[in-house]
Amino acid sequence: MSRPLERLRVIINHLDRHPAGIRAAPTSAQTVSYGHPQRLRYTLDNDLLTPEQRLFYEENGFLLIRNLVSKQDIDRFRREFERICRQEIKVPGLVVMRDVAIAKSEFVPDQRAVSKVQDFQEDPELFRYCSLPKILKYVECFIGPNIMAMHTMLINKPPDAGKKTSRHPMHQDLHYFPFRPVDRIVCAWTAMETVNRQNGCLVVLPGSHKGTLQEHDYPEWEGGVNKMYHGVRDYDPEHPRVHLEMEKGDTVFFHPLLIHGSGMNQTQGFRKAISCHYASGDCYYIDVKGTTQENIEKEVKEIIVRRHAVGDELTFKDTWAIRGRLVQGERISM
């Protein structure tokens, strides 16, 4: 194993020994600079993160907090998800996605047919995840006090059907987002059970958040790829990567330029995680015309036109403004 990776693993283990939520004395950018004056760009002054945690996010683009969400809350999210799968409740705006390997087979109202649900902002029980004070305290360290929940997902990675379609290609979430500035966006991703290499944990390229947004497209995978699962076009499989093995309730916060994906699920269980992408209430929308994001804009528009029978009047930007929900502070320009 390469040296930097070994060092990273040591730091992760070290961080693990701090119980979640431990408070360090208020720090300033100077106190964490260890002699070299260093501008902190990816984190804001706060009294929650330790200097080590702040530096870790600055350098690596993610921060793993063990045991952050309670088992009771996760059990409630799981029960709600199961009710949705059994079609006992209907949630406005919710997108239920099936794995491409079974997309054309008959639907059975059971979690085995659902690989993820998206846009659960109108489900009060699931949306509780996005407003948990424990999560928001961390989110505020990255994006500030005005917090919008922009995108919500519960991912139920199915046992691989033999074609490796349960993989998620390496990507940067910013590819999907027509808003900026990039450093005022963060994802919270919480394991709902043990997540490891066998069932397809998150895989990240540490430090990749310091790069720019890359071109994304469907990877050329023989067995097929799920709809809209774009990957970075020039993915280098030799790039050092870290597998984030997590236990129930562990939560990782990561930057929208961090390159990440997840491996295939080689178990018989459905690997569950719940996540929310947050943006600052004072972010602004951009026009993605002429940028690398044009291809995803086109796909989203095609789906919306088909689903809602609307024309061009609904823009990519509108689809985000409609979904976004304020969870703390003020909604200024979003």
Ligand X SMILES: O=C(O)CCC(=O)C(=O)O
Ligand Y SMILES: CCCCCCCCCCCCCC(=O)SCCNC(=O)CCNC(=O)[C@H](O)C(C)(C)COP(=O)(O)OP(=O)(O)OC[C@H]1O[C@@H](n2cnc3c(N)ncnc32)[C@H](O)[C@@H]1OP(=O)(O)O
Query: Which stretches of the chain bind ligand ATP, using CB under 6 A?
Result: 167-170, 197, 203, 219, 231, 235, 237, 261-264
Nearest distance, CB of residue 301 and ligand X, angstroms: 20
CA separation for the pair 180, 278 (Å, rounded)? 12
Q: Find which of ligand X, ligand ATP, ligand Y, none residue 159 binds, CB within 5 to 8 Å per kind.
A: none
Radius of gyration of the chain (CA): 19
Nearest to 170 by CA among 238, 112, 115, 118: 238
Two structure tokens written together for 195? 């997540």
| DSSP conformation class of 112 | G
Per DSSP, the residues of 266-285 read -SSS-EEEEEEEEEETT-EE
Binding-site ranges for ligand Y (CB under 6 A): 95, 97-100, 103-104, 118, 151, 173, 176, 226-229, 277, 300, 303-304, 319
Place of tokens 């040591």: 10
Tell whether residue 265 is a contact of ligand X (CB under 6 A): no
Q: Find which of ligand ATP, ligand Y, ligand X, none residue 273 binds, CB within 5 to 8 Å per kind.
A: ligand X
* Binding residue for ligand X, selected from 54, 78, 98, 168, defined by CB under 6 A: 168
Tell whether residue 248 is a contact of ligand X (CB under 6 A): no
Q: Which of residues 168-187 bind Fe ion (CB under 5 A)?
A: 173
* Binding residue for ligand X, selected from 173, 191, 205, 242, defined by CB under 6 A: 173
Residue type, 162: G
Neighbours of 164 (CB within 10 A): 17
Q: Find which of ligand ATP, ligand Y, ligand X, none residue 170 binds, CB within 5 to 8 Å per kind.
A: ligand ATP
Handedness of CA 88, 93, 113, 129 (dihedral sign): negative
Nearest distance, CB of residue 100 and ligand Y, angstroms: 4
Two structure tokens written together for 191? 């394991």
Tell whether residue 166 is a contact of ligand X (CB under 6 A): no
